Amino acid sequence: DGGITQSPKYLFRKEGQNVTLSCEQNLNHDAMYWYRQDPGQGLRLIYYSQIVNDFQKGDIAEGYSVSREKKESFPLTVTSAQKNPTAFYLCASSPSGTGSYEQYFGPGTRLTVT
Amino acid sequence: GEDVEQSLFLSVREGDSSVINCTYTDSSSTYLYWYKQEPGAGLQLLTYIFSNMDMKQDQRLTVLLNKKDKHLSLRIADTQTGDSAIYFCAERLDPSSASKIIFGSGTRLSIRP
């Protein structure tokens, strides 16, 4: 079964702690993305990676970090520098070479920081 | 500039057609996408259209693109309760690489009996 998995589905942390969200895909896609979704809003791009060992900042990268050591994995760390970390985080991947580069999404992780 | 706009809510009677509208500002858009999001879930790709097309049909879904007016619509025929969700329109500007796409804020579709 091909797809994108994100774990855990719900995550709770205390303010001041770093937390890492997992994203794995077995679709053999080159590109991967992290988005943040706040209630009643669209998606905002945090980071994206078009190839292993390379990634670019999106529109709201401050307070976040990523790594792309393997094609299948693109973990996101929410650092203590992120002022409002409570949100729904979505990971996506897309194939290259198709032209359409449609993105396929994981089920999301809801992070609550208190 | 890059901007994608959608109305926030749409209410439709079960069995009727739903039409969800979207406008975008950048005339260099190459691909436009429609996604569906059910409560607490990720986004599901419904369909996409290349900018040199003006219509695409896939079962109950029809996408219409008016490039002159920068207007995209998604029509869902015979709307069912399972169609209740938030629908996002999105555009891609860069045709050559898997770079970012711009999402609208989403239209919440509710179905009444």
Render pLDDT for A27-59 as a digit per residue (tens, 0 to 9): 999 999 999 999 877 899 999 999 999 999 999
- Mean pLDDT, chain A, rounded, equals 92
Chain B residues with CB-CB distance to A58 below 8 A: 100
Cβ of A105 and B48 within 8 Å?
A: no
Cα distances from B28 to residues A45, B52, B68, in angstroms, run 20, 11, 12
Q: Say if A36 is an interface residue toward chain B (CB within 8 Å).
A: no
**Which site among A30, A100, A104, A111 would you substitute to test the B interface, given the most B Cβ atoms closer than 10 Å to its Cβ?**
A100
Chain A residues with CB-CB distance to B7 below 8 A: none
Tens of pLDDT, residues A3-34: 999 999 999 999 999 999 999 999 999 999 99
Mean pLDDT of the B92-111 span: 84
Residue B1 reports pLDDT greater than 60 = no
Distance CA A6, CA B17 (A): 34
**SS3 per residue for A28-96:** CCCEEEEEEECCCCCEEEEEEEEECCEEEECCCCCCEEECCCECCECCEEECCCCCCCCEEEEEEEECC
Mean pLDDT of the A105-114 span: 95
Q: Kindly state the helix (H) or strand (E) to which residue B36 belongs, with its residue range.
A: strand B31-37
Residue B71 reports pLDDT greater than 90 = yes
Neighbours of B14 (CB within 10 A): 13
Q: pLDDT value at position B95?
A: 65
* Tokens at A93, concatenated: 């991947």
Q: How confident is the model at residue B100 (pLDDT cuts 50, 70, 90)?
A: confident
Nearest-CA residue of chain B relative to A97? B97
Distance CA A105, CA B75 (A): 23
Q: Which of B1, B21, B7 is nearest to B93 (CA)?
A: B1
